[in-house]
Amino acid sequence: DAGVIQSPRHEVTEMGQEVTLRCKPISGHNSLFWYRQTMMRGLELLIYFNNNVPIDDSGMPEDRFSAKMPNASFSTLKIQPSEPRDSAVYFCASSSRGADIQYFGAGTRLSVL
């Protein structure tokens, strides 16, 4: 199994630009999670999906952030417009049983200049 696949691994962009992060969960998993990790705040849950449906997006910082899961094998996290304070590592994780035993991707390191 290839595990959770995230792309790109690194993204450098300028303030105001749109950023799209991508995630392919483990095949057969029905839950998908997006996290943001910074030194100051640690690992924060942004949003999670069950069976492609967003269940809890209370962690999404503001309207500039949006996430979609058009099918069971793909999800995107979009930031528009991006700001320097969005710089962080963004992780996607998937699970076969809701919030239990999550498998993480390698992350996308985002730098907004």
Partner 1 sequence: TQLLEQSPQFLSIQEGENLTVYCNSSSVFSSLQWYRQEPGEGPVLLVTVVTGGEVKKLKRLTFQFGDARKDSSLHITAAQPGDTGLYLCAGEFNDMRFGAGTRLTVKP
Binding status of residue 34 toward partner 1 by CB under 8 A: no
Binding piece for partner 1, criterion CB under 8 A, among 17-25, 43-51, 66-74, 80-88: 43-51
Specify the stretch interacting with partner 1 by CB under 8 A; choose among 19-27, 65-73, 79-87, 94-102.
Answer: 94-102
Contacts of 25-29 with C-beta under 8 Å, sequence gap 24+, read 25/72, 25/73, 25/75, 25/92, 25/94, 26/1, 26/2, 26/94, 26/96, 26/103, 27/1, 27/73, 28/96, 29/94, 29/95, 29/96, 29/103
* Chain residues in the site for partner 1 (CB under 8 A): 4, 33, 35, 41-45, 48, 56, 91, 93, 99-107
